[in-house]
Amino acid sequence: MAGLIAGAADIFAEKLAAQQLPAPLTNLSIDDAGLSRSDLAQLFESQATSRRLDLEARRLGGEKRGYYSIGSSGHEGNAAMARALRVSDMAFLHYRSGAFLIERSRQAPGSTPIWDMALSFVASSEDPISGGRHKVLGSKPLFIPPQTSTIASHLPKAVGAAYAVSLARRIGLEDRVLPEDAVIFCNFGDASSNHSTAQGAFNTAAWTSFRNIPLPLVFMCEDNGIGISVPTPEGWVAANYANRPGLVYMACDGRDIASAFLGAQEAARCARLRKKPVFLHMRTVRLMGHAGSDVESAYRARAEIDTDADQDPLLHTARRLVQEGGCSLDDVSSIYGRIADQVRGAMENATTRPKLTSAAEVIAPLVPPAKTTPKAPAPADEKDRATAEPQHLSRIISLTLAEEMAAHKEIVVFGEDVGKKGGVYGASVRLQQKFGSGRVFDTLLDEQAILGMAIGLAHNGFLPIPEIQFLAYVHNAEDQIRGEAASLSFFSNGQYTNPMVVRIAGLAYQKGFGGHFHNDNSVSIFRDIPGVIVACPSSAADAARLLRESIRLAREESRVVIFIEPIALYGTKDLHEPGDGLMTAVLDDVKDAAPFGKVALEGNGADLAIVTYGNGAYMSRRCAKNLEQENIRTRIIDLRWLSPLPMEDVLKGVKGAKAVLIVDECRRSGSLSEEIMAKFMEAGLTQPVARLNGEDTFIPLGPAADTVLVSEDGIMDAARALAAANTRTKK
Ligand SMILES: Cc1ncc(C[n+]2csc(CCOP(=O)(O)OP(=O)(O)O)c2C)c(N)n1
Ligand SMILES: [Mg+2]
């Protein structure tokens, strides 16, 4: 035994050798839990394998041949949950779930969990889940999408996935990923249960269940009593969840495999058969500190650390193997020794495997691989008369959504007030009447829940089109896009994707509601998220074209698209004169889509190219007419795509123009005009360039708003100044 503990202290092995097995925690037998001797032996193997992987990861970390490691030691009771669930019960895992993953792999013949995890721990490009990008617990054949390290951020999508299981059944979705009777599983720590993201997910699940909507979901809180160095108040978790309306509370002891398996089975059964969300509270211990670099003795008393070590779940399973499993202590020791050798061999081998070596390789899965067989559109539904008449932007959006929903049965639209009311601006009007409350539904008031719902739905083959009511309100839920939706393809090397089109009403110039929160003019939070596409239409016709292309990008290329709808243009009908109707469109006449990465070029004036989007494009069009009367001939380059910026097309568009004006309605700092300016510099643009932006401020109420926003007067002045400078240079 001594040989196998070299490098990192193996307290389990030491205690086993010293025959220090703990007293039973319960009077349950393995028979009571429905476990056979061979079940017990297999569970022990999974637990022991996970433990040895932790120890080896630490050893390699210490030798600078591996990386920061956060282990599963003390939490190996979660193997019982893996055994109680089916492999197709999608699992969103806490980082201490090594034993769960190993145990689950028994249900997928041919799995090689030790080798796979070893490759992941040493960041080899052969790691089958992340391709060497991150140490994550995940697997495509095991239905385990990889999770990020942000605690609790996987809970909203678990709720969404559970909702997606029952919704797929209700509306008869054909191409679903998960079986009809699947359960969704997620686990997390005791400290994480306090996070607002977790609280939001519990509340969403409870709210859903309270309304008698089936939600086959198990939340498992693995309570080791501490979060890094901060103890969770004794009894807090039970007190908090034992009596929540809509949540079924159960408890078990993860240190004792019989108790853990009983609890796991009961929770799985309740979720699967009663379709109720369950909160399973599993007692665990944390062994070897929080993570590889953590010095636990700095904040925990020695006695406390030792007490936990005495209650090691491996020791409890070992005791059962001896008392009920027909093994001797020597048998247990030799099983453990064999596993230790196997894990060490795998880890050593893994260190010799290749790593990612170029930026191109690293970033490749930010754009997911194209689908091999995009689903064919269904035959078009009967036409809405409204498509034959001129419509303003918000109505065109609802009509385009209707067109797309009729063609693609997997599309679902949801958000705050999108159902009966049809959205606060009517952009989803009449969709619920047409497609039913399964495909168009009101959510509870929680943007994080809405976006988590979108991710979860996407995991079961839906194409979600969530609506965020106002741009200013996406910020408290931003991580669901930034940390979760956008990163999934990256961390799974393109194996998991969550395509969606997030519609967001935003930008300024709104005359109805005033003030900042309904006039938020910054989109910078989306523009730096790797892989995310941002689109913004500036007219009704373009809204149809851009929305079609955004939906295609999500459906066929699995992309995450943010679709910013300028609120101020929602109801705008006229461009130059009252009654000209130039901002409206007849949907039946707009047959095309706006190709991704291509700008809309209007006019070919040689004096000035105006690069703009959204409200800026609207104002620039109006100004172009007036400038023409002053002999300043313009062309307008409507970006359409705000991220990634279609710079190749922009550079083509400005060619031959004597000057360039960037009309960027967003506030200056972090604005896309900064990026355009930088790219103009890099491209060696020779024409004079100027830019207009909103001031770096929040938007005030009433006419004061005009003092801080780009205005038509401002555009006229800047255009004249550029033209005059050109005339002077010519002289
Ligand atoms: C949102 C967020 N904040 C902070 C952290 C840093 N962090 C990582 S683990 C952790 C403690 C989690 O404790 P608990 O939920 O009890 O899980 P345990 O590690 O005990 O299993 C913290 C604060 C994080 N990963 N995510
Ligand atoms: Mg904890």
CB of 159 sitting under 6 A from ligand 1: no
Which atom of ligand 1 has the smallest separation from the CA of 222?
21
Ligand index nearest the alpha carbon of residue 68? 1
pLDDT at 149: 87
Give the Cα separation of 168 and 156 in Å (integer). Answer: 18
pLDDT tens-digit map of 306-361: 999 999 999 999 999 999 999 999 999 999 999 999 999 999 999 999 999 999 99
CB of 9 sitting under 6 A from ligand 1: no
pLDDT at 657: 97
Give the Cα separation of 217 and 211 in Å (integer). Answer: 15
Dist. CA 622 → ligand 1 center (Å): 53
- Tell me which residue has its CA closest to atom 25 in ligand 1: 150
User: Which protein residues have a CB closer than 5 Å to ligand 2 (ion)?
Assistant: 189-191, 224, 226-227
Which atom of ligand 1 has the smallest separation from the CA of 284?
21
Confidence of residue 8 (pLDDT cuts 50, 70, 90): low
CB of 149 sitting under 6 A from ligand 1: yes
pLDDT tens-digit map of 642-653: 999 999 999 999
CB of 224 sitting under 6 A from ligand 1: yes
Closest to 403 measured CA to CA, from 386, 426, 418: 386
Give the Cα separation of 176 and 88 in Å (integer). Answer: 12
Dist. CA 290 → ligand 2 center (Å): 9
What order of strands is seen across the sheet that includes strand 533-535? 440-442, 411-415, 463-468, 500-506, 560-566, 533-535, 641-643
pLDDT at 5: 41
- Relative to beta strand 278-283, strand 390-391 is unpaired
Give the Cα separation of 591 and 380 in Å (integer). Answer: 14
What is the CA 222 to chain-centroid distance, rounded?
Answer: 23
Give the Cα separation of 216 and 273 in Å (integer). Answer: 8
Confidence of residue 729 (pLDDT cuts 50, 70, 90): low
- In this predicted structure, the answer to whether residue 604 has a pLDDT above a threshold of 60 is yes
- Tell me which residue has its CA closest to atom 19 in ligand 1: 227
CB of 419 sitting under 6 A from ligand 1: no
Select from 151, 154, 190, 288 the residue to mutate for testing ligand 1; criterion: most ligand atoms less than 8 Å from CB: 151
Element at 622 (helix H, strand E): helix 614-629
Length of the chain: 731
Which atom of ligand 1 has the smallest separation from the CA of 290?
19
Dist. CA 225 → ligand 2 center (Å): 5
pLDDT at 148: 85
Q: Assess contact for 42 and 64: CB atoms under 8 A.
A: no
Element at 205 (helix H, strand E): helix 196-210
Dist. CA 309 → ligand 2 center (Å): 15
Please count the other Cβ atoms lying within 10 Å of the Cβ belonging to residue 720: 14
Cβ density class 491-508: b for 16+ within 10 Å, e for less: bbbbbbbbbbbbbbbbbb
pLDDT tens-digit map of 615-632: 999 999 999 999 999 999
CB of 559 sitting under 6 A from ligand 1: no
Give the Cα separation of 519 and 525 in Å (integer). Answer: 16
State in Å, rounded, how far the first CA of the chain is from the last one: 91
DSSP of 358-393:
-HHHHHGGGSPPPPSSPPPPPPP-PPPGGGGSEE-H
Beta-strand runs (E) in 401-462: 411-415, 440-442
- In this predicted structure, the answer to whether residue 253 has a pLDDT above a threshold of 70 is yes
Q: What is the dihedral of CA 158, 161, 167, 171, to 10 degrees?
A: 170
CB of 191 sitting under 6 A from ligand 1: yes
pLDDT tens-digit map of 402-450: 999 999 999 999 999 999 999 999 999 999 999 999 999 999 999 999 9
Closest to 417 measured CA to CA, from 404, 407, 429, 403: 429
- Tell me which residue has its CA closest to atom 11 in ligand 1: 227
* Angle between helix 647-654 and helix 672-683 axes, rounded to 10 deg: 70
Peptide bond into 365 cis (omega under 30): no
Give the Cα separation of 379 and 376 in Å (integer). Answer: 9
- In this predicted structure, the answer to whether residue 1 has a pLDDT above a threshold of 60 is no
The mean pLDDT of 706-716, rounded to a whole number, is 97
Dist. CA 334 → ligand 1 center (Å): 35
pLDDT at 370: 82
Closest to 537 measured CA to CA, from 618, 464, 652, 602: 618
Select from 192, 226, 286, 448 the residue to mutate for testing ligand 1; criterion: most ligand atoms less than 8 Å from CB: 192
Give the Cα separation of 338 and 333 in Å (integer). Answer: 9
Give the Cα separation of 474 and 198 in Å (integer). Answer: 18
Which atom of ligand 1 has the smallest separation from the CA of 149?
25
Dist. CA 223 → ligand 2 center (Å): 5
Q: Give the chain's largest Cα–Cα span.
A: 101
Confidence of residue 4 (pLDDT cuts 50, 70, 90): very low
pLDDT at 473: 96
Alpha helices in 245-392 (DSSP H): 257-269, 302-310, 313-323, 329-351, 359-363
pLDDT at 240: 97
CB of 189 sitting under 6 A from ligand 1: yes
Ligand index nearest the alpha carbon of residue 194? 1
Which atom of ligand 1 has the smallest separation from the CA of 70?
19
The mean pLDDT of 527-535, rounded to a whole number, is 98
Which atom of ligand 1 has the smallest separation from the CA of 190?
16
Give the Cα separation of 630 and 230 in Å (integer). Answer: 70
Q: Assess contact for 538 and 644: CB atoms under 8 A.
A: no
Compute the Cα dihedral for 646, 651, 656, 657 and give only its sign: positive
CB of 220 sitting under 6 A from ligand 1: no
Ligand index nearest the alpha carbon of residue 479? 1
pLDDT at 67: 87
pLDDT at 571: 97
Q: Is 589 exposed, middle or buried (0-12, 13-18, 19+ CB in 10 A)?
A: exposed
CB of 55 sitting under 6 A from ligand 1: no
User: 3-state DSSP call for residue 203?
Assistant: helix
DSSP of 638-689:
E--EEES--HHHHHHHHTT-SEEEEEEEEESTT-HHHHHHHHHHHHT--S-E
- In this predicted structure, the answer to whether residue 247 has a pLDDT above a threshold of 90 is yes
User: 3-state DSSP call for residue 550?
Assistant: helix
Which atom of ligand 1 has the smallest separation from the CA of 227?
13
Please count the other Cβ atoms lying within 10 Å of the Cβ belonging to residue 336: 24
What does the DSSP 8-state code read for residue 2? G
Dist. CA 478 → ligand 2 center (Å): 25
Dist. CA 226 → ligand 1 center (Å): 9
Select from 228, 236, 293 the residue to mutate for testing ligand 1; criterion: most ligand atoms less than 8 Å from CB: 228
Compute the Cα dihedral for 166, 172, 176, 181 and give only its sign: positive
User: 3-state DSSP call for residue 411?
Assistant: strand
What is the CA 240 to chain-centroid distance, rounded?
Answer: 27
The mean pLDDT of 37-49, rounded to a whole number, is 98
Q: Quote the tokens at residue 426.
A: 């009517």
CB of 194 sitting under 6 A from ligand 1: no
pLDDT at 2: 39
Rg from Cα positions in the chain? 29
CB of 229 sitting under 6 A from ligand 1: no
User: 3-state DSSP call for residue 147?
Assistant: coil
Global confidence as pTM: 0.96
Give the Cα separation of 637 and 602 in Å (integer). Answer: 6
Confidence of residue 220 (pLDDT cuts 50, 70, 90): very high
pLDDT tens-digit map of 319-334: 999 999 999 999 999 9
Q: Assess contact for 76 and 313: CB atoms under 8 A.
A: yes
In whole numbers, what is the pLDDT of the chain averaged over residues? 95
The mean pLDDT of 147-158, rounded to a whole number, is 95
Give the Cα separation of 440 and 64 in Å (integer). Answer: 53
pLDDT at 380: 61
Q: Assess contact for 538 and 569: CB atoms under 8 A.
A: yes
Which atom of ligand 1 has the smallest separation from the CA of 152?
1
Torsions phi, psi of 279, nearest 5?
Answer: -105, 105
Confidence of residue 381 (pLDDT cuts 50, 70, 90): low
Q: Quote the tokens at residue 216.
A: 């086959």
The mean pLDDT of 251-273, rounded to a whole number, is 98
CB of 439 sitting under 6 A from ligand 1: no
Give the Cα separation of 608 and 627 in Å (integer). Answer: 10
The mean pLDDT of 489-502, rounded to a whole number, is 98
Dist. CA 218 → ligand 1 center (Å): 20
Q: Assess contact for 205 and 265: CB atoms under 8 A.
A: no
Compute the Cα dihedral for 107, 108, 109, 111 and give only its sign: negative
- In this predicted structure, the answer to whether residue 587 has a pLDDT above a threshold of 70 is yes
Which atom of ligand 1 has the smallest separation from the CA of 286?
20
Name, in order, each residue with C-beta under 8 angstroms of 17's C-beta and a sequence gap of 6 or more. 1, 333
pLDDT at 376: 66
Q: What is the dihedral of CA 291, 297, 298, 303, to 10 degrees?
A: 130
CB of 308 sitting under 6 A from ligand 1: no
- In this predicted structure, the answer to whether residue 73 has a pLDDT above a threshold of 90 is yes
pLDDT at 3: 41
Strand partners, 506: 566
Which atom of ligand 1 has the smallest separation from the CA of 153?
1
